[in-house]
């Protein structure tokens, strides 16, 4: 058995490692040798990654590729077996307030007795600190964030009365209320309506134009190059990373998805045609 | 129960107005405060989905009570001293919760199985220890058995004051940590990402449950103290969609259960106090479950019935319109319901409800044995039929469904099409010249 059949990307990785620069303090997120395992089964393996600053970056990969785990591990929500994660060259604990998070919509109970405004105000809790009440200024800030996602009219609605897309926008508004410089968003586009998708894309672009960096777990290969500047292709390990158009290639997708998705053959063929036509 | 003397209304009134003696009054106030604290703490327990964990905790206190008694007696102390017994209860309860955590972390057993196992094993151990205590024949063990079912009436004023103080402390602690509890209960992942120590906040919540449980053991008993934590909070959830309001209502329900339950148990000394207090809470829960507006069962059933009647009414309007259209009669002409398949298939009650609803809304009038659409009814029937056909045409022409397959889908959709959607359907179908044409256009459209 040849080594390359067990470790198909070994040579490519070695090449990219040899040529990669030192982790830079300018990068909002530097991940070094990150390995995460659930029940001894590795989910992420030896991930090396520097996030480009001031860009929209998509994490793309098949189900079970460790995309959500990557976000949770860098945020310290799941323990890493090994590795180091730095934000602007510093540990997370020192820069918590500069890091915003949009979890998967399905991760909470939407029948919880709170209004949309209450949820968005939770984005301010980190700033408010221990034991202090949510003040008028924080509520006003939360209201402004709801307005940015087009949900100002729904501030007092109980969250179970919102549609899926509206709930997703509330989550986005809560992250905006964090006023962070770096955002992690776990599948914000999953199962949302067209109006919400447009609203989210607008917010993402506004964030980027304001110099913020955003990392988004994304599923739709059709829109990934339209919406994002950079792409991280993940399947347990980093398959490829770089500018969106140059990274989302037929060959890279093949390596990421391993031909397991029949649908992908069509996408790959379409991409190949597009490349040939360039 | 034979020999039970049922209290008179005057006695009940005396107790409820705190005129049944100093001790009873103090105990009632103490247990009412306990109920208040239980409602407040329980709101977060319910929302954090930790009800079962709290149950495990309360059952796990039993061996601690027995062991504390044995240890204190062996050391020559007073085994029945309340601080000693409650310390033992706390230690055992916390140990039970810790064992559950250890099992979940280090095995693949799901949490509910781990809790079930710990709950029953700890309780079984406690039952054995208590039986052993009884064989000692010291005469002191009678006081310990009251911890299982609770005996509010047997409490001293001092015990009640301890309960009152602890309950007040628990409520104040919850008020201070309200924001933190809310964040962790709603979205622990987000709270953790913000840097909140979720484990610590959970621990604080659990500590409050421990505190309320342990001081409630004497009054309510360890089997039912969990009910005082969970039931008022669960009942309160039916009445509101605001956490703050829910906590206040739960506190009120808990307080009422404690106050009324203790009063009743003072009059019925042969019944366990815990059972009576929890029955009062259970009555409040049942009332909430059925009668709460919006979230209650009755409100939901009413909404469902209203929707059903309205949908069936729309079906009838369309059937009347289409029958008139097919027979080339005016849409306002009387029609015999027996000629309509849809109306024939209805049971009498549904038919009566649907007809009454349409008549109430002025869409239909009775005409001898037949019915007739009013002008408003004709217009509504025309609109519904047109929406139905718009959707059918849309499915056939744009979604490429076979014409035989679109009727059921249109049946469902015609009830929810709003003005904007109808306009869009019209625009799309107009571009391919497939706008449905209906006979008997309502007069208002001619005007």
For residue A41, the surrounding DSSP H or E stretch is strand A41-50
* B429: pLDDT strictly greater than 90: no
* B179 min Cα distance to partner chain A (Å): 7
Is A20 strand, coil or helix?
coil
Beta bridge partner(s), residue B32: none
Domain boundary among B241, B268, B293: B293
**Nearest-CA residue of chain B relative to A109?**
B186
Task: Assess if residue B313 is contained within a domain.
Answer: yes
Are A112 and B193 in contact (CB < 8 Å)?
Answer: no
Contacts of A118 in chain B (CB under 8 A): 182, 243
pLDDT at residue B59, as a whole number: 93
Domain end (from B258, B275, B293): B293
Q: Say if residue B63 is in the same domain as residue B165.
A: yes
Confirm whether B1 is domain-assigned: no
Q: 3-class SS at B97?
A: helix
pLDDT of residue A128: 94
Q: Does one domain contain both B308 and B179? A: no
Residue B390 lies in a domain: yes
At A3 the pLDDT is 44
Contact A102, A183 (CB under 8 A): yes
d(CA B387, CA B410): 8
Q: For residues A247-269, give the mean pLDDT.
A: 73
Q: Which residue of B has its CA nearest to A175?
A: B190
Report the distance separating Cα B226 and Cα B249, nearest Å. 18
* Domain containing residue B57: CATH number: 1.10.3470.10
Over residues B10-47, the pLDDT tens digits come to 888 888 888 888 888 999 999 999 999 999 999 999 99
Q: Could you write out the DSSP letters of every residue in A204-259?
A: HHHHHHTT-EEEEE---HHHHHHH-SEEEEEESEEEEEEEHHHHS-HHHHHHHHTT
Domain boundary among B239, B259, B293: B293
Predicted confidence band at B159 (pLDDT cuts at 50, 70, 90)? confident
- Average pLDDT (B394-399) is 82
Contact A214, A183 (CB under 8 A): yes
Per-residue model confidence (pLDDT) at position A277? 63
Question: Residue B78: its pLDDT value, please?
Answer: 75
Whether A252 has a pLDDT exceeding 50, the answer reads yes
Q: Any CB–CB contact under 8 A between B311 and chain A? A: no
Q: What is the least distance, in Å, from the CA of B175 to any CA of chain A?
A: 9
Domain assignment of residue B52, yes or no: yes
Q: Is the dihedral of CA B418, B423, B429, B433 positive or negative?
A: positive
Interface of B with A in 190-229 (CB under 8 A): 190-196
* C-beta atoms of A101 and B194 within 8 A: yes
In this prediction, residue A18 carries a pLDDT of 42
| B3 domain residue, yes or no | no
Give the mean pLDDT of chain B. 88
Most confident option among B65-79, B226-240, B426-440: B226-240
Contacts of A278 (CB under 8 A, 6+ apart): none
Of B47, B194, B240, the CB nearest to A112: B47
Residue with tokens 């049946």: B411
Residue B393 pLDDT grade (very low, low, confident, very high; cuts 50, 70, 90): confident
Task: Report phi then psi at A9, rounded to 5.
Answer: -105, 5
Residue to mutate among A125, A182, A186, with most B CBs inside 10 A, is A125
Query: B408 vs A101, which has greater pLDDT?
Result: A101
Which of B:260-279 have CB within 8 Å of A? none
| b/e per residue B271-285 (b: at least 16 CB within 10 A) | ebbbbbbbbbbeebb
Helix segments in B194-242, DSSP class H:
198-220, 225-237
CB nearest to B189's CB, from A39, A77, A118 = A77
Q: Does A96 touch chain B (CB under 8 A)?
A: yes
Are B241 and A158 inside 8 Å of each other by CB?
yes
pLDDT digits (tens, 9 = 90+) for B97-107: 999 999 998 88
Residue B345: per-residue pLDDT: 85
Do residues B284 and B342 both lie within one domain? no
Question: pLDDT class for B439, splitting at 50, 70, 90?
Answer: low
A160/B241 CB distance under 8 A:
yes
- By the 10 Å C-beta count (0-12 exposed, 13-18 middle, 19+ buried), B389 is classed as buried
Q: Which helix (H) or strand (E) holds B373?
A: strand B370-373
Which pLDDT score, from 0 to 100, does residue A109 have? 95
Contacts of A122 in chain B (CB under 8 A): 182-183, 186-187, 190-191
Report the range of poorest mean pLDDT among A107-116, A256-265, B101-110: A256-265
Residue B258 corresponds to which tokens in the numbers above? 């404690």
Measured CA to CA, the distance from residue A138 to residue A124 in angstroms comes to 7
Contact A192/B at CB under 8 A: no
Q: Looking at the structure, do residues B282 and B308 belong to the same domain, yes or no?
A: no
User: In the prediction, which pLDDT does A24 show?
Assistant: 57
CB neighbour burial string for B121-151, b if at least 16 within 10 angstroms, e if fewer: ebbebbeebbeebeeeeeeebebbebbbbbb
Distance CA(A102)–CA(A187), nearest Å, equals 9
Give the three-class secondary structure for A90: strand
* Structure tokens belonging to residue B162: 């301890």
In whole angstroms, give the CA distance from residue B428 to residue B424.
Answer: 6
Helix (H, G, I), strand (E, B) or coil at A46: strand
- With beta carbons less than 8 A apart as the criterion, state whether B170 and B41 touch: yes
Q: Does A201 touch chain B (CB under 8 A)?
A: no
Q: Report, as an integer, the average pLDDT of B185-189.
A: 97
CA distance B97 to chain A (A): 22
Question: Pick from B176, B177, B193: which is nearest to A75 by CB?
Answer: B193
Residues of B in contact with A113 (CB under 8 A): 47, 237, 240-243, 245-246
φ and ψ at residue B403, rounded to 5 degrees: -55, -30
Structural domain tally of chain B?
Answer: 2
Check whether residue B201 and residue B251 sit in a common domain: yes
Burial B76-113 (b: 16+ CB within 10 A, else e): eeebbebebbbbbbbbbbbbbbebbeebbeeeeeeeee
Say yes or no to pLDDT of A25 above 70: no
Percent of chain B with pLDDT over 90: 48
Cβ(A72)–Cβ(A44) below 8 Å: no
pLDDT: is B81 or A165 the higher one? A165
Cβ partners under 8 Å of residue B21, min gap 6: none
Q: Is the pLDDT of residue A266 over 70?
A: no
How many CB atoms lie under 10 A from the CB of residue A63?
A: 8
What backbone torsions phi and psi does residue A178 show, to the nearest 5 degrees?
-75, -15
- Confidence check: pLDDT of B376 > 50: yes
Residues B115, B121: Cα–Cα separation, whole Å = 10
- Name, in order, each residue with C-beta under 8 angstroms of B345's C-beta and a sequence gap of 6 or more: none
Let me know if residue B254 belongs to a domain.
yes
The residue behind tokens 């969990």 is: B226
Residue B124 in this model has a pLDDT that exceeds 90: yes
pLDDT digits 0-9 by tens, B301-334 = 999 999 999 999 999 999 888 888 888 888 888 8
Q: For chain B, give the number of residues.
A: 447
Q: How close is the nearest chain B Cα to the Cα of A171, in Å?
A: 10
Say if the Cβ atoms of B242 and A113 lie within 8 Å.
yes
A56 beta partners: A214
Query: Which one is predicted more confidently, B204 or A18?
Result: B204
Q: State whether B151 and B277 are in the same domain.
A: yes
Task: Extract the tokens encoding B150.
Answer: 């609770």
Q: Are A158 and A115 in contact (CB under 8 A)?
A: yes
Same-domain check for residues B280 and B372: no
Residue of B106, B109, B179, B245 to mutate, interface with A, max A Cβ within 10 Å: B179
Provide, as residue numbers in chain A, all residues whose Cβ is less than 8 Å from the Cβ of B182: 114, 118, 122
Q: The tokens of B357 are what?
A: 């609803």
B257-280 confidence digits (pLDDT tens): 999 999 998 888 888 888 999 999
Contact by Cβ (8 Å): A244, A231: yes
Contacts of B197 in chain A (CB under 8 A): none
The whole-angstrom distance between B275's CA and the closest CA on chain A is 30
Which residue, among B281, B265, B282, has the nearest Cα to B273 in the 3D structure? Answer: B265
Determine the distance in angstroms separating the CA of A259 from the nearest CA of chain B, rounded to an integer: 30
- CB burial class (10 A; 0-12, 13-18, 19+) of residue B311? middle
Whether residue B111 lies inside any domain: the answer is yes
Q: Which of A97, A101, A133 sits opposite B190 (nearest CB)?
A: A101
Distance (Å) from the alpha carbon of A140 to chain B's nearest alpha carbon = 17
Q: Is the dihedral of CA A121, A127, A129, A135 positive or negative?
A: negative
Q: Distance of alpha carbon A88 from its chain centroid, rounded?
A: 17
Quick check: B242 and A122 CB within 8 A?
A: no
Q: How far is B373 from chain A (nearest CA, A)?
A: 36
Shared-domain flag, residues B287 and B310:
no
Question: In the structure, what pLDDT confidence band is assigned to residue B142 with cuts at 50, 70 and 90?
Answer: low
C-alpha pair distances (Å), A139 with each of A111, A145, B174, B177: 22, 10, 22, 19
The proportion of chain B whose per-residue pLDDT surpasses 70, expressed as a percent, equals 95
Measure the CA–CA gap between A134 and B349, rounded to whole angstroms. Answer: 53
Higher-confidence position of A25 and A53:
A53
B437 torsion bin: left (phi>0), alpha (psi -120 to 50), beta (else): beta
User: Do B282 and B315 sit in the same domain of this protein?
Assistant: no
CATH code for position B409: 1.10.10.10
Tell whether B288 and B304 lie within a shared domain. Answer: no
- pTM for the complete prediction? 0.85
For A198-220, write each residue's pLDDT tens digit: 999 999 999 999 999 999 999 89
| Residue B332 and residue B384 in one domain | yes
User: CB neighbours (10 Å) of residue B3?
Assistant: 5
- Of B118-122, B143-147, B295-299, where does mean pLDDT reach its minimum? B143-147
Whether residues A125 and B183 touch (CB distance < 8 A) is answered with yes
Q: Which domain range does residue B339 map to?
A: 300-445
- The tens digit of pLDDT for each residue in B399-425 reads 777 777 777 777 777 777 777 788 888
Contact (CB<8Å) A93/B195: yes
- Are B91 and B170 contained in the same domain? yes
Round to whole Å and give the CA distance between B401 and B129: 73
Report pLDDT for A20. 47
pLDDT interval class at B192 (50, 70, 90): very high
Would you say residue B6 lies in a domain?
A: no
């Amino acid at each position: 058995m040849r080594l390359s059949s067990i470790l198909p990307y070994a040579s490519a990785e070695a090449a990219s490692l040899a040529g990669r620069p030192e982790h830079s303090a300018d990068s909002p997120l530097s991940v070094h040798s990150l390995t995460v395992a659930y029940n001894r089964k590795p989910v992420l393996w030896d991930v090396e990654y520097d996030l480009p600053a001031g860009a929209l970056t998509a994490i793309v990969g098949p189900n079970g590729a460790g995309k959500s785990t990557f976000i949770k591990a860098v945020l310290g929500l799941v323990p890493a077996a090994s590795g180091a994660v730095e934000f602007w060259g510093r540990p997370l604990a020192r820069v918590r307030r500069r890091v915003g998070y949009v979890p998967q919509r399905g991760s909470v109970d939407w029948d919880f007795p709170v209004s949309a405004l209450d949820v968005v105000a939770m984005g301010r809790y980190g700033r408010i600190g221990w034991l202090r009440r949510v003040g008028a200024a924080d509520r006003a800030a939360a209201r402004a964030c709801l307005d940015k996602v087009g949900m100002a009219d729904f501030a007092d609605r109980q969250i179970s009365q919102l549609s899926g897309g509206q709930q997703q926008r509330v989550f986005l508004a809560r992250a905006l209320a964090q006023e962070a410089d770096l955002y992690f968003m776990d599948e914000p586009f999953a199962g949302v309506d067209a109006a919400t998708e447009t609203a989210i894309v607008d917010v993402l672009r506004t964030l980027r134009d304001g110099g913020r960096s955003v990392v988004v777990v994304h599923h739709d290969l059709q829109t990934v190059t339209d919406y994002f500047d950079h792409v991280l292709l993940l399947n347990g390990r980093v398959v490829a990373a770089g500018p969106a158009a140059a990274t989302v290639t037929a060959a890279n997708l093949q390596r990421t998805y391993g031909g397991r998705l029949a649908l992908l053959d069509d996408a790959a063929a379409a991409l190949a045609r597009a490349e040939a036509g360039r | 129960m034979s020999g039970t003397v049922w209290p008179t209304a005057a006695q009940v009134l005396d107790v409820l107005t705190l005129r049944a003696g100093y001790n009873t009054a103090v105990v009632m106030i103490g247990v009412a405060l306990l109920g208040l604290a239980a409602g407040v703490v329980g709101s977060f327990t319910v929302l954090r989905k930790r009800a079962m964990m709290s149950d495990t905790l309360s059952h796990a206190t039993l061996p601690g009570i027995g062991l504390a008694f044995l240890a204190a007696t062996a050391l020559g102390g007073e085994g029945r001293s309340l601080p000693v017994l409650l310390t033992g209860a706390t230690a055992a309860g916390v140990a039970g919760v810790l064992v559950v955590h250890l099992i979940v972390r280090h095995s693949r057993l799901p949490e509910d199985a781990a809790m079930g196992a710990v709950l029953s094993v700890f309780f079984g151990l406690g039952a054995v220890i208590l039986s052993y205590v009884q064989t000692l024949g010291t005469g002191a063990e009678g006081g310990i058995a009251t911890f299982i079912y609770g005996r509010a009436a047997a409490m001293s004023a001092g015990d009640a004051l301890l309960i009152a103080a602890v309950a007040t402390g628990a409520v104040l602690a919850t008020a201070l940590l309200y924001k933190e509890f809310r964040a962790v209960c709603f979205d622990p992942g987000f709270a953790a990402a913000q840097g909140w120590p979720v484990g610590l906040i959970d621990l604080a919540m659990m500590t409050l449950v421990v505190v309320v449980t342990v001081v409630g053991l004497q009054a309510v008993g360890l089997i039912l103290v969990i009910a005082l934590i969970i039931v008022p909070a669960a009942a309160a959830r039916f009445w509101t969609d605001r956490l703050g309001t829910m906590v206040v209502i739960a506190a009120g329900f808990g307080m009422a259960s404690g106050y009324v339950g203790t009063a009743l148990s003072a009059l019925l000394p042969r019944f366990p106090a815990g059972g009576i207090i929890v029955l009062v809470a259970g009555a409040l829960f049942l009332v909430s479950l059925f009668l709460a507006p919006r979230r209650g069962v009755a409100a939901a059933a009413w909404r469902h019935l209203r929707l059903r009647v309205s949908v069936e009414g729309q079906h009838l309007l369309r059937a009347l319109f289409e029958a008139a259209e097919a027979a080339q009669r005016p849409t306002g002409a009387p029609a015999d319901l027996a000629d309509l398949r849809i109306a024939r298939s209805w049971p009498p009650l549904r038919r009566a409800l649907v007809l009454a609803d349409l008549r109430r809304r002025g869409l239909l009038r009775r005409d001898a044995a037949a019915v007739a659409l009013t002008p408003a009814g004709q217009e509504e029937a025309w609109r519904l039929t047109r929406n139905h056909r718009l959707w059918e045409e849309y499915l056939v022409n744009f979604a490429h469904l076979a014409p035989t397959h679109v009727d059921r889908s249109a049946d469902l959709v015609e009830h929810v099409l709003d003005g904007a959607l109808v306009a869009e359907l019209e625009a799309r179908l107009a571009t391919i010249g497939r706008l449905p044409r209906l006979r008997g256009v309502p007069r208002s459209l001619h005007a």
